[in-house]
Amino acid sequence: MSSFFTSIEDIITDENFLSWYLNNDDARSKSWQEWLSQHSDDQYLVQQAVDFLNTIPIKEETISDTRIDAALVKLEASLNQGKLVAMKPRNKWWIPASAAAVALLFVGFVFLKTTSKKTILATNYGTIGAYKLPDGSEVILNAHSAVTLGKEWTVGKDREIWLKGEAFFKIQKTSTHDKFVVHASAMDIEVTGTQFNVVDRQDESSVLLTEGSVTIHSSTGKEIHMKPGDFVKIDNDNLEKKPVNKEKILAWKQSKLLFDHTSMQEVASIITRYYNVKVKFADSAIAKKQIGGVMSNDNLDLLIESLEALGEFKIIKTDKEIIISRPL
């Protein structure tokens, strides 16, 4: 059994964990319990693995490499990443039916792929993924986001990650104070040990610092230093500190959305970003209407119910789009 897990995928394909979860091998279950008692820092990741397995109906079915490869290709295309090498099953002692089902479904949830050159962590639409990095740092990926890890993770070397989408980082300090650099489209974020949120999307590029300090370098060489509570937005290569509601920005980590005088047009953009669904308005006045409150963002249907509960909208959802109009 591995002594170090970096993702949920690592855990749910571990034979001792599966035996413990399925309660079908006393010796392996005991081995897992002993490991768990010695690695309290991994409790959160293990619980996520358990919660994920609990949502999956078990079927006696073997998942072929072809089906797994097809799912990876689909995810790769949705993230517009470079070509990935197809995932190959680990050489496990056995993979029970439940794990085989998980192997395919997991691809649509969170994905870890290691090649000789790079490791990619990614989430699909409507999902959030949490990982522990090789240096002990942690990253939580928002929906439809991905990070590519650099090759160097040894003490004395700079640690590097390339981000596309949105992520929250909790960086582990090293004894030699090695830098941790997050590369985004419009900036590089340089830290040693800290916690911060980064957005790198087509319509937004920003950083919120919650702990420690960071230095941002723009693509044209501009530089800005941040202290806890600072929010920096990058627009046309200009780095600008702005006031912000920290809770609103970080609500996604708890699968929630915080609206504060938020226009329905912005709500529509959020829905499209999270779920890849087109949103239309019956008239422009509805798009300008503002709402407030905290809503669950566990799934799209629940979010629609919450919006309709305001009593100001009638929402029709089809396979291809959502139409928002006034209530009858």
pLDDT digits (tens, 9 = 90+) for 232-261: 999 888 899 999 999 999 999 999 999 999
Quote the CA–CA distance of 146 and 64 in Å, as a whole number: 25
Count other C-beta atoms under 10 Å from residue 47's C-beta. Answer: 10
pLDDT given at position 169 = 96
Quote the CA–CA distance of 132 and 49 in Å, as a whole number: 13
From first CA to last CA, the distance across the chain in angstroms is 60
Reply yes or no on whether the pLDDT at 298 is more than 90: no
Q: 96 falls in which pLDDT band (50, 70, 90)?
A: very low
pLDDT above 90 covers a percentage of the chain that reads 45
What's the Cα-to-Cα distance from 323 to each of 208, 244, 258, 290, rounded to whole Å?
33, 30, 22, 17
pLDDT given at position 23 = 81
Quote the CA–CA distance of 169 and 145 in Å, as a whole number: 13
Tokens of 179: 């830098």
Q: 92 falls in which pLDDT band (50, 70, 90)?
A: very low
Listing DSSP states for 250-288 in one string gives HGGGGTEEEEEEEEHHHHHHHHHHHH--EEEESSHHHHH
pLDDT given at position 71 = 60
CB burial class (10 A; 0-12, 13-18, 19+) of residue 132?
A: buried
Under 8 Å CB-to-CB from 290, ≥6 apart: which residues? 261, 262, 263, 264
Reply yes or no on whether the pLDDT at 197 is more than 80: yes
- pLDDT tens profile 107-154: 333 444 444 456 888 888 888 989 989 888 999 999 989 999 998 888
pLDDT given at position 17 = 84
Span(s) in the chain for CATH 3.55.50.30: 255-325
Span(s) in the chain for CATH 2.60.120.1440: 133-254
Quote the CA–CA distance of 13 and 95 in Å, as a whole number: 8
pLDDT given at position 238 = 87
* pTM exceeds cut of 0.85: no
Strand partners, 131: 139
Reply yes or no on whether the pLDDT at 207 is more than 90: yes
Q: What is the mean pLDDT of residues 104-108?
A: 37
Quote the CA–CA distance of 197 and 223 in Å, as a whole number: 18
pLDDT given at position 41 = 66
Q: Which residue has the tokens 């200009």?
A: 238
Q: Which CATH architecture has domain 133-254?
A: Sandwich (2.60)
Reply yes or no on whether the pLDDT at 79 is more than 80: no
Q: What is the mean pLDDT of residues 41-62?
A: 64
Q: 1 falls in which pLDDT band (50, 70, 90)?
A: low
CATH code at 255-325 = 3.55.50.30
Ranges 102-106, 180-184, 291-295, 310-314: which has the least confidence: 102-106
